[in-house]
Structure 1
Amino acid sequence: MTPAHALWQGQSTLVEPHQGFVYAAGAGFRVPVGFGVTLMPLRHPYEAALQARSVAMNTGEPVVAGFGPGPMRFQEALLGKPYPSQLTAVREYVTVVRGLLSGRSIDYNGEYFGYQGMLPPAVTPKVEIGLGVLRRGMAKLAGEIADVAVTWLTPPAWLRDTIIPALREGAKAAGRDMPRVAAMMPVALRRPDRTPVEQALASNSLHLQAPHYIDMLQKAGLAVKGEDTAADAAAIVEGGAFVSGHIDEVVAQLKAVEELGVDEIILNLTGVQHLQGPTETLNELKALIGALTGQKLR
């Protein structure tokens, strides 16, 4: 075991993340988990609430059920057309999920989502609702309705100047405390046999082709154009959206992110996994956790 607090998983079309966490729990690996994030077009909010609560019941641990609408072309592929209003769709989705997780009967009819009824009563560990946050509008909405704001590939300056202020603004308007911020940080240590750009490309090539990520990164001042993924990978390394360097440099960058007001830093080593394999990934993860916590891990 390590001092790490929780295990997080983004949307996967290889192993469905709810099933993956329950499988891990059945194998004896029971820890708090977070979804960062699952994509709304894949399931009705009733199914989303049922799946999140099922994970909590099967693991015996708290769950952060993070949601996001996904790319518009993904919405179109599954639904026939994108949500005309992304923020309205997310608000309604969360309204239904939260109502069902409350244990009470709900009667809600929105423009995109609705449900009449309830989940069967059950005693479960806590299930919190997270929202994937890239830009100001979604951050403000998360401030109003989410328990956790989940970021991915977000430059530190964008967190400081845009995301966190918008979260505060939304929370203030709703008369509630600001949600916790969980920043998923793609990271790789610098080694003689690899380059940061290769690692960033292996980790984030699909994100660097997605219009909503390109827009966020451009607004954050990074030289991302969506035309040359290698050049864009270099831009996210330069802009700190992808964290790289020797271990002391990486630790300093991650601690600087924490000092911005981030409550939870999630280490994502997808690039290392893709290029160097699982053994190297686990060794690197242990080295990072040990350096961040001051503990030597075996």
Structure 2
Amino acid sequence: MRIGMAFGDVRGRAPLTEITRQIQEAAGVGAAWVSHGLGWDALTTLAVAGPAAPGIELGTAVVPFPQRHPLVLAAQALTVQAAVGNRLTLGIGAGIGRMVSSMYGLPTDRPARRLREYLEVLRPLLRGEPVDHHGEYYTAAGSIDLPGVEAPPVLIAALGPAMLKVAGELADGTITWMTGPRTLANHVVPSITRASGSRTPRIVAGLAVCLTSAEDAVRPRLAKEFALAKQVPEYRAMFDREGVDGPADVLIVGDEDSVAKQLDRIGDTGVTDLMLAPVGTAEEQDRTTAFLSTVVR
């Protein structure tokens, strides 16, 4: 199981220089994933901060696609791919439905059907192939031809059965967030593996982690910081599958020995990657980062 770390909005507000420092200090891990929330643009952040961590994979986790036409996203992703020396993995997702509709006024019905058509346009564009698509949701005619740029792998933020099916059939794998070990083992891994057929999908499990001796104080803080997740239907369904109340119950937290055992448990679910987001105070985050770098080595 490969271990990567998450950066960006998921770890709290920080200037771009601080995100770059964090990625540079974690350069020993397998991958640096940048989240895309209400602040920094994930792809642009990777183009700026990625060179600070040479030799490791750089991924988005994830870029919402509804507000980005496939031609626009393909051009941006391939430009970033060129800037980071073909180390990009493009993670995309439908976004949180309530935010997409309220902030952008865009429809959010039939997300799996929209995703399927989007991928049918995006993947050829990433390979430099021309498209002439006039579908139910998208019209796209053109191509993106950038010399020396490889098509990045594409992972999908997929939690429900329909989205996992599309991810297995048309993408290279999935990225989850705040999904516990029971749900990973019994739902996510078998669902996308079945949909992938003879291919082996990449399954990236994203979880918050905090190395601390004050576990009882950390869980309430996380519950408050991520309280909105309990009201998001997509995440609520995963918490219900796991049999937990909310984000604090799937947090990886404790001392070195406890955190290591929890990481092993996630590894036993069949996921291929961990995307760990250090949370807590600045001191706790630095301690967690140092420990995770040691685990990887």
TM-score class normalised by the smaller sequence: 0.7 to 0.9
In the alignment, is residue 182 of structure 1 matched against residue 190 of structure 2?
A: no
* 1:83 to 1:44, Cα distance in 2 relative to 1, 3 A: same
Matched letter for residue 21 of structure 1: L
Question: Quick check: 2:156–2:173 contact (8 Å CA) kept in 1?
Answer: yes
CA distance change for structure 1 residues 44 and 3 in 2, over 3 Å: closer, same or farther?
same
1:286 equivalent to 2:294? Answer no
1:67 Cα shift? 1.0
**2:175 pairs with 1:150:** yes
Q: Which residue number in structure 2 is paired with residue 256 of structure 1? A: 265
Q: Which residue is equivalent to 1:206?
A: 228
C-alpha distance after superposition, 1:44-92 (max 9, x if no partner): 1111111111111001142111111112212212442433211011111
Equivalence for 2:140: 115
CA contact (8 A) 1:11 1:17 kept: yes
Partner of 1:265: 274
Cα distance in 2 for residues equivalent to 1:50 and 1:108:
17
CA distance in 1, matches of 2:90, 2:160: 20
Higher relative contact order (CA 8 A, sep 6+): 2
Mean Cα displacement is larger for which, 106-115 or 194-203?
194-203
Aligned with 1:18 (options 23, 29, 43): 43
Of 145, 155, 162, 2:187 maps to 162
Cα pair 2:127 2:151 within 8 Å, conserved: no
8 Å Cα contact 2:66-2:106 kept in structure 1: no
Deviation at 1:265, TM superposition (A): 0.7
The residue aligned with 2:22 is none
**Match for residue 4 of structure 1 among 29, 47, 50:** 29
Q: Which amino acid aligns with 1:243?
A: I
Q: Is the 8 A contact 1:149 1:181 kept in 2?
A: yes
Matched residues in 1 for 2:178 and 2:219: separation? 14
Contact 2:210/2:284 (<8 A) preserved: no
Question: Which residue does 1:227 correspond to in 2?
Answer: none
Query: Residue 289 of structure 1 aligns to which amino acid in structure 2?
Result: S
Query: Contact 1:9 / 1:37 at 8 angstroms: preserved in 2?
Result: yes
- Cα deviations by residue, 1:123-166 (Å, 9 ceiling, x for unpaired): 12450111002222211221111112101100101011111111
Cα distance, 1:194 vs structure 2:
6.0
Matches of 1:248 and 1:98 in 2, distance apart?
42
Whole-angstrom CA distance in 1 between matches of 2:255 and 2:53? 30
Residue type at the aligned position of 2:87 = P
What count of residue pairs does the alignment treat as equivalent?
271
How has the CA–CA distance of structure 1 residues 197 and 39 changed in structure 2, closer, same or farther, with 3 Å as cutoff? Answer: same
CA distance in 2, matches of 1:186, 1:212: 17
The separation in 2 between residues aligned to 1:254 and 1:16, in whole angstroms, is: 29
The TM-score with structure 1 as length reference comes to 0.84
The answer (yes or no) to whether the contact 1:42–1:78 under 8 Å persists in 2 is: no
Asked if residue 71 in structure 1 is aligned to residue 96 in structure 2, the reply is yes
Tell me how large the CA RMSD over aligned residues is. Answer: 2.1
- Report the Cα distance in structure 2 between the residues aligned to 1:25 and 1:169, rounded to whole angstroms: 34
Equivalent in the alignment of 1:32: 57
Query: Matched residue of 2:62: which SS?
Result: strand
Partner of residue 246, structure 1: 255
In the alignment, residue 51 of structure 1 is paired with which amino acid?
Q
Unpaired segments ≥5 residues, structure 2 = 1-24
Normalising by structure 2, we get a TM-score of 0.84
Instruction: Please tell me the residue identity of whatever aligns with 2:188.
Output: I
Equivalent residue for 2:19?
none
Deviation at 1:250, TM superposition (A): 1.0
User: Which position in structure 2 is the counterpart of 1:50?
Assistant: 75
Q: Which amino acid aligns with 1:207?
A: A
Runs of 4+ in 1 over 4 A off after TM superposition: none
Residue pair 1:134, 1:216 contacting (<8 A) in 2 also: yes
